[in-house]
Structures are given as C-alpha cells and as structure tokens.
Structure 1
Amino acid sequence: MESEAIWLRPEKSGVGRPAQRSRAEITEAAIRLADRSGLDAVSMRQVAAEIGTGAGSLYRYVDTRDDLIDLMADHICGEYELGTPTGDWLGDLVEVGLQAREIYRRHPWMADLTISHPVVGPNAIEVIEHVLAVLADRPVGDGDKLIAFAMLNAVVASVAQNERSPTDRLAGARRYVAHVAAEGKHPHLAALEFPSPPTEDPFPEILRRLLSGLLT
C-alpha cells in the first residue's frame, strides 16, 4: 500500500517531555548535518543529537527517514528566487537552471537526490508553477513542458555532480584518452580537436541550446 506524501499528513504535536519540536526545526537540523557530513550521515539518531534530543522523540514528527529526506529536499527548493516571468521564456528558464546549480553547490547532496529521489512538495510545486507560467504562451504541449523541466533538472544535477569530481581523476582520464588516441586504433578520437578552456562560463549557453531544442 502506498503511503501518503508527508504534506498530506497532519503535523503531529509534541506532548510531554522532551520539549516540543517541529518538522521545520528537524528538517533544518538534518540539512545542516547533510551539508557538513553528507546525506549518509543523516539518521534519526544523528539528527536528534544535532538538536539535543533523543532519536525516539523525532518519530513524533516524522514516521521514517524517507519522510525526513523528502522534507529536506523540498525545503531546499524554497531557496529559489522566483520572480514574475519577464516575457523572455528562454532567459527565465536558464535563470532557473543557474539558480539550481548554485543551490547544488551549497548543498552537494541535493544534486544526488534530484537524480535518485525526486520529491514534489509545497516548495517544489512553486518552482513547477513558475516554470509553467514562464512557458504559458509557448506553442508546445504540456507534456513537452514538463519533460523540458525534468531534463533541465537532470542536466544541472549531473553537471553539479561532475563538478565535485576530484581534479586529479579528471586529469588521469585526459591522459588515458590521449594515450589511446596516440595508439592509432581510434582515428575519430585521434582527430578530435579539443577546444581551449573557455574564458566565460559556457553553462548558460549549454542550457539555452538544450531548452531551445526541447521547446522550439
């Protein structure tokens, strides 16, 4: 049997001792812990220690760790600054993508959740509503709009994950590609002309090309 999303369940009230908490307080503590030590460090016991209480008391407010992860992910979606659509649909969507990249830089674990544990809660709904408002006049189907938003999220999250790769591993991969190309068995690879490092951030243009292709 499928369980209801946590936002459809009334928030439980704390009674007796220890002191009453709230979902918001517990969520913020879990986010601090994840920012500091990674998502794997987020357990009921560790979050309880973060706020100075016992693990058992947290179950007054959340039923499972998955509930807590859902609350964390949606809380982070509240960090978007969603203004009124400007009329430049492509520019507005690129701005959403650039904000997402900065959010993932502040909370690296969130990029992983976006790929493996997508969540739709109250704050995520506001982001979706904003994107649909931006695209309200685009002559494409609703399904295409949602697919474009999903692809935007996936691409930005993947780029954020890649940015976390240690530079020595990337350098090692480049050396191996150069070694293979020099062997002469992969002529197309050997013929590649790798561009010089860009002087400006190429990511906005990458997003523009992606979204233009999906929504034109």
Structure 2
Amino acid sequence: MAGEQEPVIWLRPEQAPVGRPAERSRAEITAAAVELADREGLDAVSMRRLAATLGTGAASLYRYVSTRDDVLDLMIDSTAGEYDLPAPSGDWQAGLLEIAQQARRIMRRHPWLPILVVTRPALGPHGIDLLEHLLDVLADHPAEPAHKLEAFAVLNALTALFVQNELAASDPGAQRQIAYLHHAATAGTHPRIAAMLAATRPEQTSHDRFATVLTRALTGVLG
C-alpha cells in the first residue's frame, strides 16, 4: 500500500530474503556503529563509513538494515542492554534512582546517546526489558499505569539533559557564560540572581544535584 511504513527493525527478518548468504549480523553492524560513534561522534555514522569499518560495500548493508535510522535505533537499544537489572528491593525511589544512575553512566560512556534519547526514543528488545524492570520497581506504587509510563519517559529525558549539561560544562564557552552570570549578579541590578548564587552550595556535587532533582521530578509525576 502506498505510503505504508515498514515495521520497526526488530519485527523484520534479520536479513533480506533474497541475495547472497549472510556475511554479517545486525549485532556486528550495531557494535561497529557504536564503536564508531564513541570514537568520532554520531555524525561519523554513515552507511558508507560503517561499511568501510566492516570491510564491505555500503550496498551490502542494506541487506540487513533499510536506512541509517534503523542503525540508530539498533544503537540506542544496544545501550539498554548495558543495564544491570536486579530484583526490586521494595524501595521504589531507590530503585528508580539506581536505574537513573546507571543511565547516567551509560550516557557518559556513549556521549552521542543523550541527544538520541531526547530526539528519537526507540524501544527495542533491551528497552522493553528496561521498561518491564521499571514497572516491576513500581509494582506496589499506587500511581496510575499511565503515570508510571510518564515516569519512565521523564527519567530518561532528565538524565539525558543532565548528562548533556555535564558534558558541555567543560567547554570554554560554558565557562565564559558562567563568568558572565556572576558578573551580572555583582552589578546590583539583578538581586534575585545574586541571592540565588549566594545560596548555591559549592560543596554540593553534581551527583547530589542529579539525585535531588530527579527524585523531586519523579515524585511529582507519580503523585
């Protein structure tokens, strides 16, 4: 049917039904794409570069994936396979924070991941396992199922934004902006900004802020 979209990559055959026998696997293609993105950034992941990395022609990759978007979806889901999902302890806040702390470490390990989490969330087999684990953590929470799903989305989005800010903080441009903010605060024309900066505790670590903000947000979403 004209305009009909293909199903998600995980509902399609591992390889095109016609053509030569398989020489690669989706897992190999995904691993190569993740390694390339880790090393050179997301823009480096093109079908041509990926094929060169695998020692094959770009046309041969289309026997396994239809588009670069398929590759991105496979990459996102592969990182969800890096979680350790222990049995819930009964403390839902601690359980969600543990998921978020793992997410933060995974996103810092793959600096290209936060932007994809925000702009093109993909839910493949590993992502489904992660969602099931989160719902298991919240099994005894009285929140509506829809609110628990919202909590999953908020956890992922807030963690991604937090990691993006962390990664950008070392940039010289970010340091200049912070210096300008402090300059404006001392000028005497923005007393509320000055009071806010004066009340900021320098000893509070990024880890502490992340846990505090995330817990407040998730508590609000779940009610």
Does the TM-score normalized on the shorter chain lie above 0.5? yes
Matched, 1:214 2:221: yes
Would you say how many aligned residue pairs link Structure 1 and Structure 2?
A: 215
Which runs of 5 or more structure 1 residues have no equivalent in the other structure?
none
Moved over 6 A (4+): none
Report the identity percentage.
50
SS in 2 for 1:16: coil
Alignment correspondent of 1:187: 191
Matched, 1:83 2:81: no
In 2, Cα distance between equivalents of 1:66 and 1:52: 21
Matched, 1:41 2:44: yes
Matched, 1:177 2:184: no
SS in 1 for 2:150: helix
Counterpart residue identity of residue 68, structure 2: R
Counterpart residue identity of residue 218, structure 2: L
| TM-score (normalised: structure 1) | 0.93
In 1, Cα distance between equivalents of 2:205 and 2:107: 23
Matched, 1:101 2:101: no
Q: 1:50-100 deviations in whole A, cap 9, x for unaligned?
A: 111111110110011111111111111111111111111110110000000
User: Against the structure 1 CA distance between its residues 199 and 46, is the aligned structure 2 distance closer, same or farther, given a 3 Å change threshold?
Assistant: closer
- The RMSD of aligned alpha carbons is 1.8
In 1, Cα distance between equivalents of 2:7 and 2:205: 49
Counterpart residue identity of residue 45, structure 1: R
Q: 1:112-142 deviations in whole A, cap 9, x for unaligned?
A: 1001111011110000000011111111101
Q: Give how far 1:15 is off.
A: 4.6
Which runs of 5 or more structure 2 residues have no equivalent in the other structure?
none
In 2, Cα distance between equivalents of 1:29 and 1:201: 31
| TM-score (normalised: structure 2) | 0.90
Moved more, 23-32 or 198-207: 198-207
Counterpart residue identity of residue 84, structure 2: E
